[in-house]
Structure 1
Amino acid sequence: MSPTDLVLDPVQTPGVLAAKLWIGRGSAADPIGQRGAHQLLASVLTRGCGSLDAMQMADLVEGCGAGLRCDTNEDGLLISLKCRDLDSPQLLPLLSSMVHEPHLQADQVNLERELSLQALQRQREDPFHLAFDGWRHLAYGLGPYGHDPLGVAGELEQLTAASLRPIAQSLSAEGAILALSGSIPAGLLDQLRADGISPQSNSADFDSDARDLIDQASLSAEQKVYLHPQSTEQVVLMLGQPTLPHGHPDDLALRLLQTHLGTGMSSLLFRRLREDHGVAYDVGVHHPARAKASPFVLHASTAVDKALTTLDLLIMSWQELMEHTLEAADLNLARAKFRGQLAHASQTTGQRAERRAQLRGLGLPDNHDHRCMEVLETLDGKALRLAASRHLANPLLSLCGPKSAIESLAERWKQALDQR
C-alpha cells in the first residue's frame, strides 16, 4: 500500500490481532449522480481480489477463523480484519489486494446493489430514518453530508461495475492508515516494512480555521422545518443543527453537553421527557465524530397526543443550553460519564485499532483522547454555555408522523422561532 501510515498498539491478548485500514474517501466523496457508490464499492471489496475469487477469499478468511468486513461512513472507508496473530502474515496482505486489485465482477456488484436497495427500502419504512433524512436534507442539502452512506435509490440503481472502477482506482491513490492492536508478531513488522509500511510519529494539531471555512456553507439553511407525513400512530421529532468537526477546540464542550442531555437514565432528556412527563418512547442525542460540521441532534419518538408537549420540552431543553449555566453536580456527572464512555470504547482490540485509525484519518494526534481528559477538568458550566451560544443558535426541526399532527407541530415551531 503506498503511501500507508502504520499505527501500532501492542496489547497483551491471547494471540488476537485486530487490523483496521482507514482510507479517507467515504460517502462524502460520492461523485455527482452516484450517491451510494463508495458504500457499494466497500461491500464488493470482500468479494474477490488479487488471485482469489469470492469463494477462495471466503475460504481463506473463514478457514483461519478470522473476520473480515468493509464499511463506509461519511468521511472514510474502513476495512476491518480480526484474526489470530499466527495467521496475520497470510491475511494482512488481503487488505492491500482489496484496495489495489479488487475484482469488481458484474454479478457480485449486482448482488450487492440489490442488497443495498433492499436496505434503503427498509429505511423508508422506518419513521426514525425518514425524520433523520429530512433533517439531513435541511442541514446539508446536496452537500457531502446530505445523504445516507447507502446512497439514493434512483442513483444507486444505475451503478455498475464500470461505474465503480474509477472510484476503486482513486482508493489506491489515496493515503491510508493501517492500525494494528493486540498481539503483534515481530516478523509481521518486518513484512510490513518490506512493503513500505512503517510507523510514523503523529503530533498533528487541529487547524480550526481551515476546517471552519469548509463548513460555513452547511450552516446557512433558510428552511427551518421539514415535514414527512406518514400514516403511523407515533411522531418522531429531530431538533438540531450542524456544528463542529471532531477535534475543534469547542468540540469537547459540545460532547459534555451531549452526555448531559442524552447519556443514560440519569440524562436530562430521559428524566424530563420519560420520568417527569411520560411523553416519549425513546429519547437521545446524536453527535458523531465527523471531519466537517457534525450533527448535534436531539431526537424523540412519542404518541400523537403527546407530540406538542414533547416538542415544547425539546425546545426548552435546547434553549437552556445557551441561557443557563450547568450546575456543578450535573457537570461532574457529565464528566464521569464521558470518562466512562472513553473507557468502554477501548475495551476490545477492534475498538482500540479503529479509534487510532480514525484519529489519524481526521488529522488528529494519537494522544487526542488523553488531551481531552486533561482539558475536561478545566471546562466549567460557563464554558459549556458559551460554546452552546456559539454553535447551537440555529436549530432545525424535522418531523415524521401523521399529517395533521406534524402540521400542528410545525406551527408551534414557527411560533417558538418568532418569539426568539
Structure 2
Amino acid sequence: MGRPQLLLEPRSTPGVMAAKLLLPRGSACDPSGQRGAHQLLAALLTRGCGPHNHQQLAELIEGRGAGLRSEAHEDGLLISLRCTSEDGPELLPSLAWMVTAPHLEPDQLELERQLSVQALVRQREDPVQIAFDGWRNLTYGEGGYGHDPLGIEADLISLERSALEPLASDLQRQPAVLALCGQWPDQLTQQFGTLPGFASWPPGTGDAGRLPDTGAEHSNNRLHGSVMATEQVVVMLGQATIPHGHPDDLALRLLACHLGAGMSGLLFQRLREENGVAYETGVHHPVRAGAAPFLLHASTSADRADLTLRLLMQIWWELREGLLDQAELALARAKFTGQMAHAGQTCSQRAERNVQLCGLGLPQNFDQQCQSSLQSLDAEALRQVADRWLHRPNLSLCGPRQSLETLSRLWCSQSSRS
C-alpha cells in the first residue's frame, strides 16, 4: 500500500496545524505473553528515530513549542503532532521516521518499561480501576480487549527489544492513515510523497488483517469481586456489545446519553438526586472496532451499596422493558448532538476523528449520517436494540469483603432475570 493515505481538512485556525497518524495495530494485537508490547513500542517511538536520538528529537519538537505524542489503544497506534503551520514541513517527517526507522535503544526501553510498571502500580490503588479491570477480564478474558493497553506487569518485565522489533517492522507494512487539520504551506501536501521519511516508506500489504478475537462473552461466570480495605464500594454492570458503525450502535449511543450525560442523566437523577446513594455515576461506551463495552458504573458507601446495585439493575432492565417518553428521547438526541459538536472543536480532535473513521472503514461523513438518522430512532427502536444487546450483563465489584458478600448474594438471587 505504500505511504499513508492522506486526509486533509483545512480550517481557519491561523498558524496552527494538527497531524494524526493512525496505524492499525493496538493492544488487542499484543502477542500472548507480551501484553503491553504495543504500548511500550508506541512510547519508544518518541525516544529516537531516523537521524535524531532521543535528545535531538526532544529538542527539535520542544524547541518549536510543538507537541509530539505516541500511544497505543485497543485498536490502533496513534501518533499525534501539534505545531505551527510554518514548522509543519520540518516536523512532519518525524512521524514517518518513528514508523520506518525507530531506534528502540535498550536504555530508553528500560526507562519506558519502568514508567509503564509504575503506572500499573498506581492503578492498583484506585478502586474504580480495579473494578474495571475485573469487569474487563470477566468479559473478554484472554482476548484482545481483556487487558489494559499498558499491559500486564509480569509480561512487561520480560519484554526485550527482540520482542518489539518484529512489531515495529509490522507497523510499516500496514495501511496507515495520516490526517492534517488546520493550516499548512501548500508545498507540504504538494510534495508529501517526497518528504523525508515518507518518500522511503516501504510498500505495504494493503490489508490491515482481521481484528483479533476480543474474547467477548468468553465465560459463564458473570460476577467478579475485588476485596479492598476501604469504605467505598465500586459497582460496574455491563456487557460487551457491538462495533462502532454497526447499524444498532447509534441507538446504544443515544441510550448512553439518556443514562449518563450530565446531571439530567437517568443515573445521576435516580442514584444521586432521588436516593443519594452514589458519589459518582457514569456510562462507559467507547468507540471500538470490535465488541465495545456498554457499562454502567457507580461509586458508593458500604452502607448504601445494596441499594446502589438494586437501582443499577432496575435501570438496566428498564432499558429492555420500558420506553423513553418523548421528552427523554428529545433530550437524548440533543445531548448526542452536543457531544458531537463538543468533540470536534479543535484541529486535533477533528484530525483524530478523521483517522478513526478511516481506520474503521467508515465514510468521512459518517457523523453527518448519524445526525440525519437521529429522528428515525423512536423509543420502540431503542427498546428493541437494548433487548437485543443488553440482555446478559456482567457485574464487577470492588470494596470491603462484607459488602462484596452481600452484593454477591443479591446478584445471584436477581440476575436470573436475564
TM (norm. structure 2) is 0.95
Q: 1:280 aligns with which of 275, 278, 287?
A: 278
Distance 1:227 1:330 in 2: 34
| Counterpart Cα distance in 2 of 1:314 and 1:5 | 44
1:233 and 2:236 are equivalent in the alignment? no
SS for the counterpart of 1:377 is: helix
Separation in 2, partners of 1:419, 1:264: 29
Distance 2:184 2:358 in 1: 20
Count of aligned positions: 406
Q: What amino acid sits opposite 1:409 in the alignment?
A: L
Equivalent runs, 1:209-288 vs 2, <5 Å: 218-288=216-286
Partner in structure 2 of residue 176 of structure 1: 176
Q: Which amino acid aligns with 2:162?
A: A
- After TM superposition, list the pairs within 5 Å mapping 1:6-405 onto structure 2: 6-194=6-194, 218-405=216-403
In 1, distance between residues paired with 2:417 and 2:370?
A: 37
CA shift, 1:2, in A, is: 2.3
In 2: Cα distance, 1:173 partner to 1:417 partner: 47
Q: Distance in 2 between matches of 1:334 and 1:407?
A: 36
The TM-score normalised by the length of structure 1 is: 0.94
**AA at the equivalent of 2:95:** L
Deviation readout 1:177-213 (Å, 9 max, x if unpaired): 000000032110122133579xxxxxxxxxxxx98x9
> What is the alpha-carbon distance in structure 1 between the residues aligned to residue 240 and residue 320 of structure 2?
16
Q: Can you give the 5+ residue segments of structure 1 that lack an aligned partner in the other structure? A: 198-209
Structure 1 residue 371: Cα displacement: 0.3
Shift of 1:220: 4.5
Match for 2:154: what amino acid? Answer: G
> 1:419 offset after TM fit, Å?
4.4
CA RMSD across the alignment: 1.5
Contact kept, 8 Å, 2:4 with 2:175, in 1: the verdict is yes
Residue-by-residue CA offset, 1:78-126 (whole Å, 9 max, x unaligned): 0000001111001000000000100000000000000000000000111
- How many Å separate the matches in 1 of 2:162 and 2:57? 22
Q: Which amino acid aligns with 2:297?
A: H
CA-to-aligned-CA distance 1:154-197 (integer Å, 9 cap, x gap): 00001122221111111111110000000032110122133579
Question: How far, CA to CA, are the matches of 2:29 and 2:344 in structure 1?
Answer: 29
Give the match's secondary structure for 2:191. Answer: helix
Question: 1 CA distance for matches of 2:277 and 2:117?
Answer: 34
8 Å Cα contact 2:144/2:213 also seen in 1:
no
The percentage of counterpart residues that share the same residue type is: 56
Paired residues of 2:286 and 2:292 also in contact (CA < 8 A)? yes
Question: Taking structure 1 as reference, are residues 135 and 4 closer, same or farther at Cα in structure 2, changes over 3 Å only?
Answer: same
- CA distance in 1 between counterparts of 2:235 and 2:416 reads 20
Counterpart of 1:231 in structure 2: which amino acid?
A
Which amino acid in structure 1 is aligned with residue 296 of structure 2? L
After TM superposition, the runs of 4+ consecutive aligned structure 1 residues lying more than 4 A away are none
Give the superposition deviation at 1:71.
Answer: 1.0
Structure 2 Cα separation of the partners of residues 38 and 220 of structure 1: 23
Q: Does the residue aligned with 2:297 lie in a helix, a strand or coil? A: strand
Amino acid at match of 2:121: Q
How many Å apart are 1:418 and its aligned residue? Answer: 3.0
Letter of the structure 2 residue corresponding to residue 17 of structure 1: M
Q: Is the partner of 1:338 in helix, strand or coil?
A: helix
Q: Which amino acid aligns with 2:167?
A: I
Match of 1:412 among 404, 410, 414: 410
Q: For the residues of structure 2 that align with 1:299 and 1:131, how far apart are their CA atoms?
A: 9
Distance in 2 of aligned mates of 1:296 and 1:343: 22
Q: 1:166 to 1:214 in 2, by over 3 A?
A: closer
Quote how far apart the aligned CAs of 1:214 are: 6.2
> Which residue identity is paired with 2:316?
W
| Distance in 2 of aligned mates of 1:403 and 1:70 | 40
Counterparts of 2:353 and 2:125, CA distance in 1: 32
Partner of 2:367: helix, strand, or coil?
A: helix
Code of the aligned partner of 2:385: A
In structure 1, give the amino acid aligned to 2:306.
L
Asked if the contact 2:13–2:183 (Cα under 8 Å) also holds between the matched residues in 1, the reply is yes
